[in-house]
Structure 1
């Protein structure tokens, strides 16, 4: 086993537009797919911006790009427009790369492929250890990558995250071929590329963890106004909202319904780095909630949605029975395929089909509905016959 400390790699730090153009030319002259990664400052900054972009290509080398100093990545996007980009967990990186004009034309996702292959652990360190016999240290994975200047040790860590990706990709590809899953992986990779951002929530404050414990409209209004005040301050300061006051403090204040700023300050469950220094900001939000006539009701149900499946057994026993039978059949098939059940078919799709049944027993009907719900062709081919049989099977 080779430790990360025993590995050395040369890399170039790119922090201006002229250097981007030169790096793009060098990467274009390399060969094979391009290893790509991005580092964010999740938990530290307000948004999900990229604060470092890493790229490696054989015969070209490793480049670490500083997006805070670069006005345009267009030369890089143009130079690599026809190439395959290798990621480990692409869905984490694509949104922030999109923001700076970098969009993979084709991708290979070693983390997603590892799931399809049935690897027990799919983190980069685990897959690298299993296939390359190299132990990676993840000491800086949760670091504040908006820090400037970036420490040398962090940059070395970031460079190694992409240097190993081409070798890892080749070994994963061999295993996909051995298991007969190359087409499955290709469809999954394409689906990642085509995935659309989720639409903005009409009431984003309802993402607060713990709102289900608030029993009255006024308490919900308190939570909403505190969330909005925190969001505005976080955006203004470019700080992750939870670093100002955590969700649990908002819920605690909403439940307590304090009668004065002093009451709020004495609330031991109202914590956070700005819980006292911004006390009047939070109190003004509470006053708005106390006086508003715009009181929120329970969380509105998606008009096209279905009831939560935990209540089906009591209220919709036929649907609960269909789900039980179908889920068992899909789980058995996933085990046979050597992949997690959720990769064979999303649980939400399975629940929708079980809720909407009975079907006419025809595989074609189930195939059509699976496609409408966004299932990939390989998923349709494997699961439609199983589901058609499950929904008409005697219970």
Structure 2
């Protein structure tokens, strides 16, 4: 790893080729596709969303850079179609993203689906970097400092300020160089094949299934102890989600979670009582006071059979903090597996959660196979979705740890 002192760090203030014009029509996109297809080597890609401002997770700006092509900034909201033609023109070119799982969904909405991936954040994790944000990685590995002042901006703003466009262009300015340096480090550390397996797994992963009862994830819901209170949370959450979706606003900008929880605890019966909850006096919330009160009234009038029930257990094991009471033997297996994996992760200089996902460890130790030989553990890990490099590293140590415990039982 390359460690740079502050005196060695060079601020990166301007893209080397200047700030390119934003592509926002079919003619400009055709020219951009031609330029990028004529370039060589990996393609750096980034996307800017309006998280915290808009309901959708769509991309409002896509940045690309390739050797021989320069940087391209694309406003997909102004295009008649997505970026499928661009993806097709790039073919099997390696697409370089930082924290790929964040950007791949919005790129997929635009029909831009990489065939080959290099994730610089994940590469950093596998190499044992403690901080893997893009700015930190560029500074630590390459010795340049990126400005990160606009990462949380409302990228649905039009026109986009020139300062934001400069920031966006700089995000891909050195991404391929970062990829090259990390590629060499992975090869030197014997971890390149691990990374390739991880990148392929990201591309092969199916879209996440919609959450059942997403309203149960309302922040602070643990404070609501009654079923009728949960009904208020549900009705307000569903109403807020509909309003936010129709207005394309982030739900928290329509009504904060804290307001929903307070209403569930206080059960206001009038609009006056409702406005005594401060969050209901915001401009967006005040527009829908009657609807909020109607949702609370519906919850109050529900029969017992209409009330939501306590959340049903998922298909996995219970929370680990309950294992000692419910199944002490499983708790002992989990502790032994965690200790084994921590030691192994330290040896290979990578985070434990990248060595083996915590959910995989819990499932393995809550319901272990009858055959806890290395072959039996490997088969179970494979069914649980572990990568081959993970299986090769962890099978024998986990088998040994579980065998010792079984012998003591």
* TM value normalised by structure 1: 0.97
CA contact (8 A) 1:246 1:272 kept: no
Which residue number in structure 2 is paired with residue 311 of structure 1? 322
Among residues 15, 18, 29, which one is paired with 2:24 in the alignment? 15
Q: Who is 1:300 aligned against? A: 312
Q: Secondary structure at the match of 1:393?
A: helix
Task: Name the counterpart of 2:397.
Answer: 386
Deviation, 1:359, is 3.7
Deviation at 1:267, TM superposition (A): 2.5
What SS is found at the alignment partner of 1:38? strand
Give 1:372's aligned residue. Answer: 383
1:361 Cα deviation after fit: 3.1
2-structure distance, mates of 1:176, 1:86: 15
1:63 counterpart SS class: strand
Contact 1:250 1:270 survives alignment (8 Å) = no
Residue 4 of structure 1 is matched in structure 2 by 12
Q: Distance in 2 between matches of 1:74 and 1:137?
A: 31
Aligned-CA RMSD value = 1.4
TM-score normalised according to structure 2 size: 0.94
In the alignment, does 2:179 pair up with 1:169?
yes
Q: 1:315 to 1:74 in 2, by over 3 A?
A: closer
The answer on whether the counterparts of 2:256 and 2:279 sit within 8 Å (CA) in structure 1 is no
Moved more, 310-319 or 196-205: 196-205
Which string of whole-angstrom CA distances, capped at 9 and with x for unpartnered residues, describes residues 10-30 of structure 1?
Answer: 323211011111110111111
Q: Structure 1 residues 48 and 156, CA, compared in 2 at 3 Å: closer, same or farther?
A: same
Shift of 1:305: 2.0
Equivalent runs, 1:52-63 vs 2, <5 Å: 52-63=61-72
Match among 151, 159, 184 for residue 194 of structure 2: 184
SS of the aligned residue for 2:287 comes to coil
Q: Which moved more, 1:366-375 or 1:257-266?
A: 257-266
CA shift for structure 1 position 273 = 4.2
Match of residue 38, structure 1, among 44, 47, 52: 47
How much has 1:7 moved relative to structure 2? 5.1
Q: Is the 8 A contact 1:245 1:271 kept in 2?
A: no
- Give the distance between the partners of 1:209 and 1:380, measured in 2 at CA: 36
Deviations 1:330-364 (A, max 9, x none): 01000101000000000111011111136433111
Match of 1:362 in 2: 373
After TM superposition, list the pairs within 5 Å mapping 1:79-90 onto structure 2.
79-90=89-100
2:363 alignment counterpart: 352
